[in-house]
Structure 1
């Protein structure tokens, strides 16, 4: 029953992403469109999950299936039936609820009870020898901390030594925001159905989803006719933005970029941003920084044009540049504030990062010719809230940043979110924990600014830049591991990604 969209890895996940509440409200329309009932859709889900579990764990002979009081529990009963017919030993433990089971889940439960075996209550003693757990406790409708008995069942699943496969979403994870409001299942794998949900790609998702798989249950053609709420970005998207160069092009065709930053002690930040721009294909890169950084910067990367940041050099450089990037290592002293004041009057395409954002939080200037690239802490200052509020709904936070500051927003983090004033919302499904080290944001600034200088619009520069940045880090992690990754390690990988 697994259709052609069943994945063997995350590269074959769909690019269209939907809110979970939209899927719940509309999947019945999809079922009618292809002429099946919701119960038949549930059977497809259970059969697809059974097939995946058999493929992933062919030697597992004793399965523990946790069934909640909703349709995820119904999927679990279908899996139990399939596994029982295959000769697998099944134990089902069921949660309780205050309302009747949905009709489809009730039908699946009765089918199991009448034909195959028993169901144990939530407080039953768990078997000691099961070698696979199926998590069908809580579905995509949860938006608060799990209550008892679900919280206890989730904790037991996390402590049990067997791997866990979650159905649709790890129980306890908010399928819209990717936030766990309380206890949450730490899945080894998650198989999501019908559509890819936004909460599987950002927030805490990477901590708890495990390897993500997808099955459309036969609704892929219907889903293709629907308008997604956001886009998923991977390396396969790069060719839509980055095209071959004209044979007769010259350096002036590929952008004159101005980078401003590198206060005392932070010259490396602006140097990394400038070199990343060169590696991404910028024609000319000028850096304005503290005078004490100039000699070392030129010795390390002579292709950069480096001058001291002074009022005269700044005015001339702004007039010269096609694109301005300000912030890496800028600091918040009068030296940096002078630069911000002069740059703010330009209508050229710009990128603001790091301390430029901390200064922006004071002025609250809104404009359409700018990309801002905050991490959650900077975003919290920009929106005058806590980091926890930013992370509680990263998609909403990105849209709110756009509303207040205009232009294009890159909200960095696990599952970087990109948004702009046209309503586009995207998640970069790239990157890894090795990127949690100093300087990574400076490299991203250089990549995005370089793409701006090569003629991409603000939004496309942000989308493509985030993908290049994350995939470069993924390739390094594949080769050498995540720990010990340096921001400058990405520089050698960038050219291979920006040449189609």
Structure 2
């Protein structure tokens, strides 16, 4: 009796590095030179990983349908198809019938033909029953709308009932920025090779990418020697960012945060920012708002200090007292608000500008290195005199332009929030979900980031850490309760887990021990 071949489990480990598309070819070539192999041997590894991935994740799939393009992405598909056919799978391979663009892909194409592999044209009818579709049409290099042949195949695959595995990137999704100007594959899984790409993490990626997997193709030791141009941050970093406090620390050590805003009818925004700062560990939080807001706030949260925004002497004293300043949540655009913004714009203290403050910033020439700004795409379009579609079509480009124009640290919010600064540091927060599309989420984020800045984090690290804490907390809530109906204030219930990751780990260990005892 022959033993069944065991396919090892693929973990969903993702690296903390992202490489721009224009550097990928050099990275790949340097990698094969480092290993002393050829590009075709690397393609063989990729094809083998495709086969392993499908065999593990869809073990009952008997009929595999491959869609192969003319480039190296198609070459990976030809290799995987060959392995599948040799292994006894029923394989249908659809080719776009265009001239092959690389010698490696030509080798792979010939290897497929050498085992009597058949080619189905793009206009031919597909078999009735297909268990898995492998999208190897377009790779990471496309920068235009797929032509008619590719678009027809993409649409046909999307309408099919079978799950789809995309090789490296769903065809039609731009790997450089997550833009989708035409048709694109809605993948069930995406298997990324060598490096993660920006378009897999930000922009419209989450609509198309499905579950993202990564394989380094044996280049791990080589890649560890390289400094990645873009960092990918998720909740696994929290234990590195948050260190235990000294036993002798006191409230004065943990940051004096001044928050200014809360126009009439907008008191909720400034309250959520203040509450988020306290829940993130600020030592002292003071609000400046309108007189009518003082009693409701102090009743709801007596730990907050509060004073009248209309008193100039109070403003001067408060600015002198504060370690970090937040302005914008619910601020409004009254003459008083504009006057306060002008005064604060010349301060050299660390500060965060959000919401209404960003509208004012767009009207003045004020570039500063001591400021974090946190625009959503609509606010970013005003700051750059652009439109929302242009911002969303290339979020990395927009973030860099915001840094060049306004300085400091930029937090471009959205799916795959981008953090960038004047030193050239760029990070993408790979957390968060569609449940966060509700009022007040940005106000909470501002409080979290500013609190961390007051606790000694650099502005860039405060922004990165704050975005991860914010998104990871929302992810836990939606994983437990679903995405619809999530409120910004719901995050306050569990923020402690993410700003005290050591306590979260201890609690998980205690749960495990308890389960073992009762069993």
* TM-score of the aligned structures, taking structure 2 as reference length: 0.93
Cα distance in 1, alignment partners of residues 257 and 196 from structure 2:
38
| CA distances 1:153-172 after superposition (whole Å, capped 9, x unpaired) | 11111111111000010001
Q: CA deviation at 1:337?
A: 1.0
Q: How does 1:366-405 map to 2 (within 5 A)?
A: 366-405=367-406
Q: How does 1:48-447 map to 2 (within 5 A)?
A: 48-97=49-98, 99-310=99-310, 311-447=312-448
Number of residue pairs aligned between Structure 1 and Structure 2: 496
Cα contact 1:7–1:214 (8 A) shared by 2: no
Q: CA deviation at 1:84?
A: 1.1
Q: Which residue of 2 aligns with 1:8?
A: 11
Q: CA deviation at 1:341?
A: 1.7
Q: Which residue of 2 aligns with 1:461?
A: 462
Cα distance in 2, alignment partners of residues 496 and 2 from structure 1:
38
CA spacing shift, 1:53–1:3, aligned 2, 3 Å:
closer
| CA distances 1:187-221 after superposition (whole Å, capped 9, x unpaired) | 00000101111111001111100000001110111
Q: CA deviation at 1:8?
A: 2.3
SS of the residue corresponding to residue 93 of structure 2 reads strand
Return 250-259 or 233-242, whichever deviates more. Answer: 233-242
| CA distances 1:345-377 after superposition (whole Å, capped 9, x unpaired) | 211100000010011001131111100000011
Q: CA deviation at 1:315?
A: 1.6
Q: CA deviation at 1:3?
A: 12
Cα distance in 2, alignment partners of residues 329 and 284 from structure 1:
21
SS of the residue corresponding to residue 423 of structure 2 reads coil
Cα distance in 2, alignment partners of residues 34 and 221 from structure 1:
10
Cα distance in 1, alignment partners of residues 324 and 117 from structure 2:
68
Cα distance in 1, alignment partners of residues 106 and 448 from structure 2:
53
Cα contact 2:10–2:56 (8 A) shared by 1: no
SS of the residue corresponding to residue 326 of structure 2 reads strand
Q: CA deviation at 1:239?
A: 2.8
Cα distance in 2, alignment partners of residues 460 and 116 from structure 1:
56
Cα distance in 1, alignment partners of residues 57 and 406 from structure 2:
47
Q: CA deviation at 1:343?
A: 1.4
SS of the residue corresponding to residue 37 of structure 2 reads coil
| CA distances 1:432-453 after superposition (whole Å, capped 9, x unpaired) | 1100000000000000000011
Q: Which residue of 1 aligns with 2:509?
A: none
Q: CA deviation at 1:2?
A: 12
Cα distance in 1, alignment partners of residues 37 and 159 from structure 2:
39
CA spacing shift, 1:2–1:60, aligned 2, 3 Å:
closer
Cα distance in 2, alignment partners of residues 243 and 489 from structure 1:
25
SS of the residue corresponding to residue 427 of structure 2 reads strand
SS of the residue corresponding to residue 212 of structure 2 reads strand
Cα distance in 1, alignment partners of residues 31 and 450 from structure 2:
42
| CA distances 1:63-94 after superposition (whole Å, capped 9, x unpaired) | 11000011111111111111112221110111
Q: CA deviation at 1:146?
A: 0.3
CA spacing shift, 1:366–1:135, aligned 2, 3 Å:
same
Cα contact 2:7–2:52 (8 A) shared by 1: no
Cα distance in 2, alignment partners of residues 116 and 471 from structure 1:
50
| CA distances 1:299-351 after superposition (whole Å, capped 9, x unpaired) | 11111112221122212211111110000111112132122122122111000
Q: Which runs of 4+ in 1 moved over 6 A?
A: 1-4
| CA distances 1:411-469 after superposition (whole Å, capped 9, x unpaired) | 00000000001100000000111000000000000000000111111111101101100
Q: Which residue of 1 aligns with 2:28?
A: 27
Cα distance in 2, alignment partners of residues 108 and 342 from structure 1:
66
Return 289-298 or 440-449, whichever deviates more. Answer: 289-298
Q: CA deviation at 1:117?
A: 2.1
| CA distances 1:224-257 after superposition (whole Å, capped 9, x unpaired) | 1222110000111123322111101110110110
Cα contact 1:81–1:116 (8 A) shared by 2: no
SS of the residue corresponding to residue 400 of structure 1 reads helix
